[in-house]
Structure 1
Amino acid sequence: MGRLVLCVLALLVGGGISDPVKKLQRTVDQTVLDRQYKLLTLFFHPHEPIHIKEQQEIAASWDLEKNIGLYENATAVHLTIQMLHNNYQVPRGVPFTVLESVHRFEISVYYSLLYSAKTYDTFYKTAVFLRQHVNENLFVNVLSVVILHRSDTQDIRIPPIYDVFPSYFHNGEIMTTAQRITTHGQRMLEHYPSTYVWENNVVIRHNETAWPYYCNTESMPVSYFTHDVTLNALYYNIKLAYPIWLRSDACAIKEKRGELFFFWNKQLLARYYMERLSVGLGEIPELGLNEVEEGYVSGLLYHNGIPYPVRPNHLVLNHQTWHAEAIEEIEVYENRIRDMIDQGFYITNTGEHVSINSPDSIDVLGRLIEANVDSPNVQYYKDFISIWKKVLGNSLVHESVAFNGIPLVVPSVLEQYQTALRDPAYYMIMKRVLKLFNLWHEHLPHYTTKELSVPSVKIEKVEVDKLLTYFEYTNFNVTNHLHLNEIECNNVINTKSVLVQRTRLNHKVFTVRVNVKSGVAKHVTVRFFLAPKYDSVGNEIPLNVNTQNFLLIDIFNYELKEGDNLITRVSSDNLLVTDEIDSASVLFNKVDSALQGHGQYMLNMKQNILKTPRHLLLPKGRVGGMPFVLMVYISEYHAPNDVHRGTVETSTIDNTIRLTSDTLGFPVDRPLFPWMLTGVENIFLQDVQIYHKPTTEVTGVPVYVE
């Protein structure tokens, strides 16, 4: 679980910041290599039975009852045995979602089983056993969660979810074309639209914003962001680190998960708003209780061929009885949160009244609103967000279908973490949710000049390189979705690859230079925030309103010397974002090569599945330039509270966000007014422009390379 906390403080050296590359790479021993290799194979074509002979033997012979002494949690063993014996489990080949309570119970049991294995060998054999006997989507989810949290798998990397289950990220037309290519080979490529051969791989071109079957909804121009494969994978990964069903005392979670819930969604909403402004869209629509104007057609298909539910335009929320009942529930549960905020206390499940009027209460407020299992009263402050997802996803049905007591559901994109960000309704829900947090913030006092200031530190000037964004092409491998032929089954290998070429937003590397005068040598924290300067109708956004739009784009610690300082920050050194995550095939080849004695396998700590992809650091901007405000803020360094840190140094989550003990997003976690900044010389607001240019103009690389 140590990877779920922070370790970057070691990067600091006197007078500046050390080179992060050397610090963030290291080799692993043979044991880790063997484990990485074998665990990777469990993600290989999970829709099919196990093909590796050793694993087939383990799956057939492993006896949970005879080996019950090898687990700390005997109850989980008994429950698993009973569920498998009575076939009380989500069947293989059907959709799975943790937002369905029975599905969630099953995954929590399997987590307890795997996590409580006393040795790695027991854990591995149990994982192989489950791989063969449980729903493939559930299995991949629970195995990934356990790998993130077990102490003996901290150096194990899980393959990207878009490589394991490509159909969550590419529409039905793409996946159907891929299946036809698998069947017919390359002999009929000329009959398939937008396909070509590259290095013996078949590549399917896809332009997300131009696909005609999305019904040309208002938000489609921003689908380059909402449909970004790695962004949607990020949301899924965050929910692996902090599942709503996993208690902190059932693993080693130390982080303030409620505060993270607030901060991550505030960041996401601010970024989405910038993208809307970049393409000329209006404000994020308000979500009411009567009608949702914008529909959504995902074009996605589940692996068994069932399409995702569709939300039509102008969906009337109380048209059907079961919709109206759901809306009533939402209203009741939201009002309980509002009443709690207005009264200044929440009620525990034992009836105790606990104050939420201190700034630290942001964490418990986040847990209450998300309604995760760490909520102090999940029975009273219920999960209205998931109800919103069912209503707006249009997946509510009058009568549910069950198999042996297990609900068979067809979740909408909103109900799958790996697809939720595609739907503009997600951002409408979160805008409504963040208003609850804003209501709570209004009850807090404003930051004082003393809290904001750093004595003797003055930012004199900020210079920023020209900010350029562009679209680039990248390939995703969808082969894991396709069925193996007999030769591939016997050799447990893909003999061919089908790739999907998609566009994604990227930016040119830039540098920020900050001239600072300091009266004394001082250890400080430097933050860069970005916000739009004007709203959708061209009005300059007041600072106190724009506070909620400020996006944290960089944070680092620094040693100021006495006198003049020049802080030079190159965007490629930004540790708030992640380098490109190794694909499943790249990861497998690296590990296999090291096992064969061909070089070393290096753990690259600049790859972090719980950070924003580097290519999404900047919003798109506009061809002629789009005005933004860059806020540079230098604060006193406050060491992070070890209570909220793990014990293993190789971290994955939050290892540059939580550099200090300050609240996440400080100082724009509360409204800032211009009068509050009078005499505060360690804050500097700099106007910048973001330009969007054609790819060839920025990189010199042609649009298509065949």
Structure 2
Amino acid sequence: MARLVLCVVALLVAGGFADPTKKALPQKIADPVFLQKQLQLSELFYHIHEPVFIPDQLKIVESWDIEKSIEHYTNVTAVKIFGELWENGLLPRAVPFTILNPDHRFEAVTLFNVLYSAKDYDTFYKTAVFFRQHINEGVFVYVLSAAILHRHDTQGLIVPPIYEIFPSFFHNGEIMTTAQRLNTHGISNIEHFPSTFVWNDNIVIRWNETVWPYVYEDSLAYFTNDHELNTYYYNMHLTYPFWLGGETCPLVKDRRGEWFWFVHKQIVARYYLERLSNGQTEIPELGTDVVQHGYWSGLLHHNGIPYPVRPNHYHLLQPHLVDELTEIDDYERRIRDAIDRGYVETVHGERIDIRTPEAIDVLGNIIEANVDSPNTQLYKDFVTLWKVVLGNSVVHDHVEWYQHHVPLVLPSVLEQYQTSLRDPAFYMIWKRVLNLFTYWQRQLPLYKPEELALPSVKIQKVEVDKLVTYFEHSYVNVTNHLHLTKHERTGVVDEVSVLVQRPQLNHKVYQVRVNVKSEAAKTVVVRLFLAPKYDSRGYEIPLHQNTENFVLLDQWTHDLPVGDSVIKRDSNENVYMVEHWPSHVTVYEEAENAVHGKGQFVLDQTHRFNGFPQRLALPRGRVGGMPFVLVVYISEYRAPKVPYGTGFDPALSLGVGSGAVRMTDDPLGYPFNRPVHYWQVRDLHNFWIQDVTIYHKPTPEIDVPYTE
């Protein structure tokens, strides 16, 4: 923010989010109305732990009354329930919030419904300002972010990355304590903090020199603790929250259950590639007896309370866990029984056939137990129960707090979407859950070779540039977490800017060249997949067993001419991946400059909210090289039932809930959405299997800027 932060960090926004890229995405120039909305909503995320102090917002807080303005909302019931919550006690500020707790969720969903049902933007904004002052800051950020994503009049507005709003979710307690001290003392006493240095008027804390007490024996911390990877998972949850859907927001149109499966399949497969790169064993199986590996995150909740710890050799057969484990066993058995019977029972006793490939959407809905599940009374949420059990979290059901009874919870990292990928137990849970999907997929008929074939197209050769990964420094701004002085509140400005220098995995841009011969001019879909060649014991993995390990690297449509041609694809052209999310500071400054005629604010989806971090597309590999399997698959283009972009502006919106967000009508992950045996593809000319090697190089060997 131009008024709010004195220094903008160029490295955080290298290239500028407003600059066109070579990705073929539609663009639009923001008009004054959009810019005003962007500025107003950006200010609401500024120093979220502080009470409202911006003069314009204070006037709204003092004058706006939600209950007296009930005619400005379409959901009258939600407004009345909010009035009851307001009278009986909301979750207080400065205590942890988790959407997985039923009481917390009831409050959050009620507040979302109030925001979402505002009849116009003015009502929406005034309600948001009122909430900013009076409700728990964790609840506020969650419901406001969700409302911005799903309201029609806020499409395209940029929500700040969660790692800038709440830095304490991404940096350990020592770093955040050091940042607070630096905020108090400023640059003048920096010599007393050996882990810091000054760079371009910013105080920088070296992450890798302060983290060592907390990630002992964890060679995968650079991946599981990656701030952008965890933000991606949080963003995907906000895009398709399990509690949102039905008539309120028709997320079912997007086949949300299939997305639920595919996102988790990709994450677990990607994690497995990283484990193998570091010489680790298979992902441990999760049982109901003992979890060998404990977890200590080193994180502090923003009120200073440490996250719960799971000790090593954690025994699950304890009296206080008996009920949860019994429920887990029961709920998982109901899913397996449904798969065996071939149908799911609705709440009205009707049967839905799940012996068809399209039924993965139904299966995903009942496993997630989202609001679009046909029967949430029978098929219940066992994934959250696993998180509660393995997270070792603490719940005080109803504590007296300022004369009100409120549920106070100390959630583990597993119980918050922005931190859950940090704990290795997350991948154990999801390996177990994905096994249910695999069990169902094995009930389906295998693809016939002729179903996978494209007779008129022949892949003649595939060339891939050398695949090289390396570590680089990133600089994450944590200033939003720091306390403001009276002078800073009065001037709406940060006098001290604190960054955290973090090592992060990246890879050199590479190109894939597919030499193709086509007998006819046609539009095709090209897909690139990556999987391990060997398991952790050194045995080569057969194709049909490797199906669950394939990560979709890229997918795009291509117009093939008649005859020989070369399909060229650079690794940075994937429209479903993002180079970075724009900094909160930069978005505000760009919008403010545009308001005053100093440049344009360009809108497109190169910074798409639910994009996967581009730099994490490849696993680390090894210094001497590590073999992987690359699959190139070219299939007939099958247009989606609803053309992409129908009902929304692709330059502004992700189109969530439109049913028009698919590139093709193929299943997600096709053809690896079912087991694929070598005999099915060995004679196909449009299916190419090739070994590739990924090399990891020390940073000095890579041409990257030196930052100190």
TM-score normalised to structure 1 length = 0.94
CA distance in 1, matches of 2:418, 2:382: 20
Aligned residue in 2 for 1:11 = none
Quick check: 1:400–1:409 contact (8 Å CA) kept in 2? no
Q: Which moved more, 1:640-649 or 1:510-519?
A: 640-649
Aligned residue in 1 for 2:315 = 316
Deviation at 1:327, TM superposition (A): 1.0
Q: Which amino acid aligns with 1:628?
A: F
Distance 1:299 1:132, change over 3 A: same
Aligned residue in 1 for 2:256 = 257
CA distance in 2, matches of 1:129, 1:647: 32
| 1:249 counterpart SS class | coil
**Map 1:185-584 → 2, pairs under 5 A:** 185-207=186-208, 211-214=211-214, 216-217=216-217, 220-253=218-251, 254-319=253-318, 321-396=319-394, 401=399, 403=401, 404-584=404-584
Aligned residue in 2 for 1:56 = 58
**Map 1:618-629 → 2, pairs under 5 A:** 618-629=618-629
| 2:179 counterpart SS class | helix
| 1:212 counterpart SS class | coil
Match of 1:688 among 692, 695, 707: 692
Structure 1: which 5+ runs fail to align?
1-17
- What is the total number of aligned residue pairs between the two structures? 682
Quick check: 1:658–1:664 contact (8 Å CA) kept in 2? no
CA distance in 1, matches of 2:153, 2:369: 30
| 1:598 counterpart SS class | coil
Deviation at 1:193, TM superposition (A): 3.3
Deviation at 1:212, TM superposition (A): 3.0
| 1:548 counterpart SS class | helix
Quick check: 1:68–1:77 contact (8 Å CA) kept in 2? yes
Aligned residue in 2 for 1:677 = 681
Aligned residue in 2 for 1:595 = 595
Q: Which amino acid aligns with 2:640?
A: P
Q: Give CA deviations for 1:98-121 in whole Å, capped at 9, x if unaligned.
A: 000011011111111111111111
Deviation at 1:396, TM superposition (A): 4.8
CA distance in 1, matches of 2:665, 2:454: 16
| 1:175 counterpart SS class | helix
Q: Which amino acid aligns with 1:100?
A: N
Quick check: 2:168–2:300 contact (8 Å CA) kept in 1? yes
CA distance in 2, matches of 1:678, 1:615: 32
Deviation at 1:134, TM superposition (A): 0.6
Q: Which amino acid aligns with 2:143?
A: V
Q: Which amino acid aligns with 2:524?
A: V
Q: Give CA deviations for 1:347-385 in whole Å, capped at 9, x if unaligned.
A: 111222221111000001001001111111111111100
Q: Give CA deviations for 1:461-496 in whole Å, capped at 9, x if unaligned.
A: 000000000000010000010011011100112122
The answer to whether structure 1 residue 101 and structure 2 residue 105 are counterparts is: no
**Map 1:87-98 → 2, pairs under 5 A:** 87=89, 89-98=90-99
| 1:525 counterpart SS class | strand
The answer to whether structure 1 residue 85 and structure 2 residue 87 are counterparts is: yes
CA distance in 1, matches of 2:598, 2:663: 37
Q: Give CA deviations for 1:191-222 in whole Å, capped at 9, x if unaligned.
A: 223100001110000128x83323624xx101
The answer to whether structure 1 residue 660 and structure 2 residue 664 are counterparts is: yes
Distance 1:291 1:645, change over 3 A: farther
Distance 1:100 1:138, change over 3 A: same
| 2:366 counterpart SS class | helix
Quick check: 2:204–2:499 contact (8 Å CA) kept in 1? yes
Aligned residue in 2 for 1:166 = 167
Aligned residue in 2 for 1:118 = 119
CA distance in 1, matches of 2:62, 2:96: 25
CA distance in 1, matches of 2:400, 2:452: 57
Deviation at 1:65, TM superposition (A): 2.5
Q: Give CA deviations for 1:21-43 in whole Å, capped at 9, x if unaligned.
A: 46443311000000000000000
Quick check: 2:453–2:686 contact (8 Å CA) kept in 1? yes
CA distance in 1, matches of 2:655, 2:493: 33
Distance 1:442 1:645, change over 3 A: farther
Distance 1:701 1:44, change over 3 A: closer
Deviation at 1:398, TM superposition (A): 8.5
Q: Which amino acid aligns with 2:150?
A: H
| 1:214 counterpart SS class | coil
Deviation at 1:681, TM superposition (A): 0.9
Q: Which amino acid aligns with 1:211?
A: V
- Give the aligned CA root-mean-square deviation in angstroms: 1.8
Distance 1:368 1:23, change over 3 A: closer
CA distance in 2, matches of 1:198, 1:504: 19
Aligned residue in 1 for 2:3 = none
CA distance in 1, matches of 2:583, 2:397: 41
Deviation at 1:682, TM superposition (A): 0.4
Deviation at 1:579, TM superposition (A): 2.3
Deviation at 1:568, TM superposition (A): 0.7
Aligned residue in 2 for 1:134 = 135
Quick check: 2:394–2:409 contact (8 Å CA) kept in 1? no
Aligned residue in 1 for 2:633 = 633
CA distance in 2, matches of 1:582, 1:323: 43
